[in-house]
Structure 1
Amino acid sequence: MNRLAGQITASPGRLYPAAEPFARHMIEVPGGHRLYVEECGNPKGRPVLVLHGGPGGGCSPYMRRFFDPAHYRVILFDQRGCGRSQPTASVKANTTQDLIADIALIRRRLGMAGRWLLFGGSWGATLALAYAQAHPEHVAGLILRGVFLGTRAELDWFYGGGAGRFFPDLWARFQEPIPPAERGDMIAAYHRRLFDPDLGRQGRYALPWLMWENALAGLQSAPASGAPTDYARAFARLENHYFHNACFLDEGQLLRDLDRIRHLPAVIVQGRYDMVCPPVSAWELAQAWENCELIMVPASGHALSEPYISAELVRVMDGIRDDDHEKERA
């Protein structure tokens, strides 16, 4: 099944309407957090859990549009500290292990008995892999869009000057708020400022952090200069918190523990020109995972909204749907 697709197989624009949720929940979890959870599609359909990126990004109605609402029960939630979850921008009791426990708690609160699909990209792919390795008995398969394994090499690429060689003007803008003597470790330099007790100071450094990532996310992306301060602060603080702590993973952990999920099927949809999560991570994961299909999408960058990325994700989910129908008929 480990196949590398060299051509675009789906046409852009193939998205389902954003189905309105049939249920919304605020679920209390340990550590003083309340998580926003929504369900849409078919209440009796095949369950799929959507894991948003960031960390700190939050889910959006756009993320509902990859699934046939007649076939799938789609569950989305805002992770601790971001989106509609409360308290906003809080990093208290906010680790990868906490998020894995939250997913397990959401399963119980929603009365999930069988296995569900995991659908996530970027940090969402990281979390999907970490959760699946902790609870493989609850997972039917993984659909990943852009792979981030939480390694030092990946963080050095994006915050240590690697990506800056392709975008020197944007890299200079990202470095500008930081004194030259501190630019050797941009994650640490921003961490000191994003966690300053003064909220105004946090906000001033949150926007350039967010702008750096947004500017590189898609082939036609532009800096998010108009982003609301509260959103920018939550996104920047959460993402920096995780990266400053090596994503609360051992170095190389997700590849090391791949044997726990090697039996599960997986599909990776990877933009050929993804500058945030370079294709090498998806390639290494697929090479180590015999039951994984890697679809490398030309003319595409990182963002979920990249038209050919979106179309491929719809095609993959429709393929799983059609395979389910075949099994039912058999």
Structure 2
Amino acid sequence: MTHLQSSGYLPVSDNHQLYWERHGREGAEPVFFLHGGPGGCSSRDHLAFFNLEHFDIVLFDQRGGGRSTPHGERLGNETERIIDDIETLREHFGFAQITVLGVSWGSWLALKYAWQRPSHVHRLVLASLFVPSPENLVIYHHAVTRYLSAKAFTSFEQVCEDLDQPCRQLQRQAALAWVGAALHLNRQRMDKAALEHFIDDVAVRAIRLEVHYHRAGYFFHEQDQGLMLRCSCQVIQGIHDPVGLSSLRWLRQRALLKCRLFRAGHDAFDPVLVSGIEQSLMATNRGQ
């Protein structure tokens, strides 16, 4: 039972529409869930993080992701536009303040939104951190390129080129190499048959969008180094997630936060992280 209240599409630009769903109990503490990616999507599986009786939950697919249209679109797709989209959604639903749960890439979006619009954020809950600061991207990009060279016998530049080739086989090979690198970095596994099945035309478009962000340094700007938080912030982090831990070190210099560490990697669906997220949300729920 998902307690679906409503769903729909919200135009946010001339060419982008966001798909959204609203779950839980109307009138409860409003929570926006920001999924990972870029190029990812929300899912009702993410409702596992919530006690549906205690929250009014908005799931949505970010620009170019999931059911938002046009799928995989790179034009007009950058970090600041997504931050604006969060605000457009908040206004659409008429919430004065929201709690934001951000996972992986979504944790960075949550941080940026809370920094830029502090009066509209009640609190943050962040899991499996990803902060695309230059120092973190050096770690991330080095690990990706090392895998691509040693295991996939290709390069990042070749992956970028092949993803935009008209040949679908070249696109698939490039997408397989990129996903393999991401799984390796995050200490996750997927057997070869499942991976082959996963890489279809939809996945290729999503990976092309993710690579678009990666090439642009995730649109991290020098002024982002000045990020400071005023709201409450709780972090749930796996200790076997190197980029997450380096992101945590970056964030500790800029925010007073409560952090819970678990024997887990980057996958927020690890049962110990799911439990940690749910407990952190409930710990300071306004209805308690």
* TM-score with structure 2 setting the length: 0.90
Other structure's SS at 1:85 match: coil
Contact kept, 8 Å, 2:28 with 2:287, in 1: the verdict is: no
Q: How far apart are 1:221 and its partner, in Å?
A: 5.5
Cα distance change on mapping 1:319 and 1:235 into 2, 3 Å = same
2:216 aligns with 245
Residues 1:42 and 2:21 are matched in the alignment:
no
Q: 1:305 aligns with which of 266, 269, 278?
A: 269
CA distance in structure 2 between the partners assigned to 1:138 and 1:109 by the alignment:
13
Which is further off, 203-212 or 92-101?
Answer: 203-212
Q: How far apart are 1:279 and its partner, in Å?
A: 0.6
Q: Identity rate of aligned residues, in percent? A: 28
Residues 1:256 and 2:223 are matched in the alignment:
no
Correspondences of 1:223-234 after superposition (within 5 Å): 224-234=195-205
Residues 1:203 and 2:172 are matched in the alignment:
yes
* TM-score with structure 1 setting the length: 0.80
Residues 1:288 and 2:266 are matched in the alignment:
no
Cα distance change on mapping 1:163 and 1:117 into 2, 3 Å = farther
Cα distance change on mapping 1:60 and 1:33 into 2, 3 Å = same
Q: 2:183 aligns with which of 214, 217, 228?
A: 214
Cα distance change on mapping 1:52 and 1:64 into 2, 3 Å = same
CA distance in structure 2 between the partners assigned to 1:294 and 1:104 by the alignment:
27
Contact kept, 8 Å, 1:218 with 1:306, in 2: the verdict is: no
1:266 aligns with 233
Cα distance change on mapping 1:194 and 1:220 into 2, 3 Å = closer
CA distance in structure 2 between the partners assigned to 1:162 and 1:195 by the alignment:
19
How many residues are matched? 286
Cα distance change on mapping 1:205 and 1:105 into 2, 3 Å = same
Residues 1:76 and 2:59 are matched in the alignment:
yes
Other structure's SS at 1:147 match: coil
Contact kept, 8 Å, 1:255 with 1:285, in 2: the verdict is: no
Contact kept, 8 Å, 2:5 with 2:23, in 1: the verdict is: yes
1:10 aligns with none
CA distance in structure 1 between the partners assigned to 2:76 and 2:247 by the alignment:
28
Q: Which amino acid aligns with 1:305?
A: F
Higher relative contact order (CA 8 A, sep 6+): 1
Which is further off, 220-229 or 21-30?
Answer: 220-229
Q: 1:138 aligns with which of 100, 116, 120?
A: 120
Contact kept, 8 Å, 1:207 with 1:227, in 2: the verdict is: no
CA distance in structure 2 between the partners assigned to 1:163 and 1:293 by the alignment:
34
Q: Which amino acid aligns with 1:98?
A: R
Contact kept, 8 Å, 2:29 with 2:287, in 1: the verdict is: no
Cα distance change on mapping 1:189 and 1:256 into 2, 3 Å = farther
Q: How far apart are 1:216 and its partner, in Å?
A: 4.0
Runs of 4+ in 1 over 6 A off after TM superposition: none
Contact kept, 8 Å, 1:40 with 1:74, in 2: the verdict is: yes
Question: CA offsets per residue over residues 266-302 of structure 1, 9 Å max, x none?
Answer: 0111100014x34121133124312x112111x2000
Cα distance change on mapping 1:91 and 1:254 into 2, 3 Å = same
Contact kept, 8 Å, 2:159 with 2:177, in 1: the verdict is: no
Residues 1:173 and 2:155 are matched in the alignment:
no
Correspondences of 1:13-162 after superposition (within 5 Å): 19-112=2-95, 114-161=96-143
Cα distance change on mapping 1:103 and 1:62 into 2, 3 Å = same
CA distance in structure 2 between the partners assigned to 1:234 and 1:119 by the alignment:
26
Unaligned runs of 5+ in 1: 1-17
Contact kept, 8 Å, 1:218 with 1:300, in 2: the verdict is: no
Q: Which amino acid aligns with 1:308?
A: V
Q: How far apart are 1:24 and its partner, in Å?
A: 0.5
Other structure's SS at 2:231 match: coil
Question: CA offsets per residue over residues 151-174 of structure 1, 9 Å max, x none?
Answer: 23322222213895xxx6x86224
Q: Which amino acid aligns with 1:121?
A: V
CA distance in structure 2 between the partners assigned to 1:318 and 1:163 by the alignment:
40
Other structure's SS at 2:128 match: strand
Q: Which amino acid aligns with 1:247?
A: Y
CA distance in structure 2 between the partners assigned to 1:243 and 1:163 by the alignment:
12
What's the Cα RMSD here?
2.2
Unaligned runs of 5+ in 2: none
Which is further off, 148-157 or 74-83?
Answer: 148-157
Q: How far apart are 1:197 and its partner, in Å?
A: 4.8
